Chains A and B, each alone.
Chain A
């Protein structure tokens, strides 16, 4: 497998090819930050598969992802290629039903 370099093109490809993507510290099984865990818990509530990217595996990851998305904190959640924000927004949008709606709406496009 070719080396992953966290380039904007590579990152864009991940969110373009997966409807639900979570950039997080650690993994859903072993989260390394409470915010990342909260984001992962919210996505698990959706009952849909999602892709996670552990940004602690490479020191280049956090600066690269944050510069590409223009969002300074982790975790970051992407729905149908669009950044919705961090764990606070994910929870807010889940509770209001907006997140579920966004997933459905993206399917028909």
Chain B
């Protein structure tokens, strides 16, 4: 089990200039939605944006410390256009189907 603050700090180790926001989707410390906003993503393809972060969390994912990680790596422009929802893969309403929920730290 890890905290939102820990997630944010770990992501910043990989993308130091980024604005990072982590949401612990269930309060269980293992399902996270993480938004990473960085100018450095300009012109970089989606997979290449995620790879360094995923590589950093490889051990935690392999050990299931982090069970679910929904990453949104955006440029500041994309962040301005993006909606205010997070994806919850284990939403309670329909098991295994996932639901879009309001990001917990937003009203």
Show the binding face of A for B, using Cβ within 8 Å. 26, 31-35, 37-38, 71-73, 83-85, 87-89, 92-93
Q: How many residues of B contact A (CB 8 A)?
A: 24
Interface centre among A32, A34, A38 (most CB of B within 10 A): A34
- C-alpha spacing A72/B47, complex, angstroms: 12
Q: Is the CB of B72 within 8 A of A34?
A: no
Chain B window 47-77, contacts with chain A (Cβ cutoff 8 Å), 1 for yes, 0 for no: 1001100110110011000001111100000
In the assembled complex, 9 residue pairs joining A and B whose CB atoms fall closer than 8 Å, in A order, are A26-B96, A32-B96, A33-B96, A34-B87, A34-B96, A35-B87, A72-B55, A73-B54, A85-B46
Q: Does B29 contact A (CB under 8 A)?
A: no
B6 interfacial contact with A, CB 8 Å: no
| Residue on B nearest A32 in the bound complex, by CB | B96
Taking a contact as CB atoms closer than 8 A, the residue among B50, B69, B71, B88 that contacts A34 in the complex is B88
Q: Are B47 and A83 in contact (CB under 8 A)?
A: yes
Q: Is the CB of B97 within 8 A of A34?
A: yes
Task: Name the one of A33, A35, A72 contacting B58, with C-beta atoms under 8 angstroms.
Answer: A72
CB B107 to nearest CB in A, in angstroms, measures: 24
Q: Does A31 lie within 8 Å of B96, measured CB to CB?
A: yes
The complex places the Cα of A92 from the Cα of B91 at a distance, in Å, of 20
Given contacts A34-B98, A88-B71, A89-B50, contact A72 B62 (CB under 8 A): yes
Inside 8 A of A32's CB, which chain B residues have their CB? 96
Task: Give bound CA distance, A26 to B98, whole Å.
Answer: 14
Q: Are B98 and A35 closer than 8 Å at their CB atoms?
A: yes
Min C-beta distance of B98 to chain A, whole Å: 3
Measured in the bound complex, the distance between the Cα atoms of B91 and A33 in whole Å is 10
Contact status B46-A33, CB under 8 Å:
no
Are B57 and A34 in contact (CB-based, < 8 A)?
Answer: no
With A and B bound together, what is the CA distance between A72 and B62 in angstroms? 7
Of A37, A71, A88, which contacts B72 at CB under 8 A? A88
Partner pick for B98 among A38, A72, A84, A89, CB 8 A cutoff:
A38
Bound CA–CA A15/B18 (angstroms): 34
* Cα separation A53 to B57 with both chains bound (whole Å): 24
